[in-house]
Amino acid sequence: MKKLALISINHDGFQASIRLREMIQTDYDIELYTSYETNSGNVKIYHSLDVIIEHLWKTHDFIFFAATGIVVRKIASHLVSKDKDPAVIVMSFDLTMIVPLLSGHLGGANEIAEKISSHILGSKVFITTASDQKNIYSFDLFAKKHSFEIENLRSLKIISSSLIDAKKVHVYSFPSIFQLIQKDFHNSLENIIFHDADDSIQQPSVLIIPNISNQESHTLKLRIPFYFIGIGMNSGTTANEIEDCFLDFLSMHHLDRKYCRGIASFVAKNQEPGLLAFAQKFEFTPVFYEADEINQLEEHFSNSKAEDYFGIKGVAEPCSILLSIYKTLFIKKVKYKNITLAAAF
């Protein structure tokens, strides 16, 4: 979590920053900066607002006790983009007016302002973000909350504007993600149309999946930055064969290797030299599941020889689900000569 810099330029602002620190010091890692000469402890004196902003820009969020115009002029040269700029808030000396000025969503300025306001009786947060004013669903906040990556930030404006103008937005993902959206937002989602991954849709407005290709489009792409691989295999399969199949599987399905968070298989394979050597090379700690753990899953899996040999529903598909976070199989098993692979998130 970034540190929160409370910055003042005069006596009244400095006193306000001290009062605010007392109210919120259990919520944030706070540092006080002022150009007002003081002997108070735990306060850092600065002599140039330009210098201190430049020094703190990449490591801190900001609350300024200063005129909005001054703050705008001083931060202007540092602005990069909404996914990189810090939260910037301006507050009145009496702490009653709180204005999120920059990075309301991804930077968290709106959230910080609301939290501060909860500590101050009679305070008001003046939020200018259109989606917040109209109580419209925000996909950037959704991505931030669940640590999903926004692949093409420019398209976010198009989606947000569509929802603000009451236009339909088509979301292509999986039921587990739709449930997250519905859980996050208790108001109307009537303009958001959900399309399951099994549906046929040419150009979705929003795409929320782990395997996103780099093809440019106006679609807002939210990458789920993790997936888990289930591996079924014949005894004696070599590490090289497993690696070749693994890399082919990733390439075939546009999966980035760095997002693979783990591999899993059936407990009968826990001493397979090839699998263990493959796991060591790729720095995986393989997880092995018992028969009863696999058979307790209610999903319908692809036909598997494991049912005949071990009395279990399968290996690659159920093991990937057991290891995953959202228990969602998004790539059914692919059969190779001696190996089956499946992916879940």
For residue 215, pLDDT beyond 70: no
Whether 283 and 306 share a structural domain: yes
Question: Residue 216: what pLDDT?
Answer: 65
Whether 264 and 210 share a structural domain: no
DSSP H helices, 239-290, are 239-252, 273-281
**CATH classification of the domain holding 83:** 3.40.50.11220
Domain boundary among 188, 223, 258: 223
Q: Under a CB-based contact definition with an 8 Å cutoff, are residues 20 and 28 in contact?
A: no
Domain membership flag for residue 134? no
Whether 182 and 255 share a structural domain: no
For residue 314, pLDDT beyond 70: yes
Q: Under a CB-based contact definition with an 8 Å cutoff, are residues 291 and 192 in contact?
A: no
Whether 215 and 297 share a structural domain: no
Whether 232 and 215 share a structural domain: no
Domain membership flag for residue 180? yes
For residue 299, pLDDT beyond 70: yes
Residues 6+ apart with CB under 8 A from 157: none
Q: Helix, strand, or coil here: 74?
A: helix
What confidence category does residue 271 fall into, taking pLDDT thresholds of 50, 70 and 90? very high
Identify the top-confidence range among 174-178, 196-200, 299-303: 174-178
For residue 113, pLDDT beyond 70: yes
Domain boundary among 191, 223, 255: 223
- Which stretches does DSSP call E strand in 103-223? 124-125, 149-150, 169-173, 192-196, 206-209, 220-223
For residue 310, pLDDT beyond 90: no
The residue among 106 and 95 whose pLDDT is bigger is: 95
What average pLDDT does the segment 166-189 reach? Answer: 88
Domain membership flag for residue 133? no
Question: Residue 201: what pLDDT?
Answer: 67
Inter-axis angle of helices 109-117 and 11-24, nearest 10: 80
Domain that holds residue 186: 139-223
Domain membership flag for residue 77? yes
Q: How far apart are CA 150 and CA 155, in angstroms?
A: 10
CA proximity to 296, closest of 274, 277, 314: 314
Whether 63 and 170 share a structural domain: no
For residue 48, is it left (φ>0), alpha (ψ between -120 and 50) or beta?
A: beta
Whether 237 and 332 share a structural domain: yes
Whether 124 and 175 share a structural domain: no
Q: What pTM did the predictor assign?
A: 0.79
Q: How far apart are CA 87 and CA 110, in angstroms?
A: 8
Tell me what the pLDDT averaged over the chain comes to.
92
Question: Residue 248: what pLDDT?
Answer: 98
Inter-axis angle of helices 273-281 and 239-252, nearest 10: 60
Question: Residue 306: what pLDDT?
Answer: 78
Whether 105 and 185 share a structural domain: no
Domain membership flag for residue 84? yes
What average pLDDT does the segment 234-251 reach? Answer: 97
- CA-CA distances (angstroms) from residue 48 to 34, 74, 227? 10, 11, 47
Residues 6+ apart with CB under 8 A from 314: 232, 294, 301, 302, 304, 306, 307, 333
CA proximity to 268, closest of 224, 304, 235: 235
For residue 1, pLDDT beyond 70: no
Domain boundary among 128, 147, 181: 128
What is the number of structural domains in the chain? 3
Whether 257 and 291 share a structural domain: yes
Whether 65 and 16 share a structural domain: yes
Whether 189 and 219 share a structural domain: yes
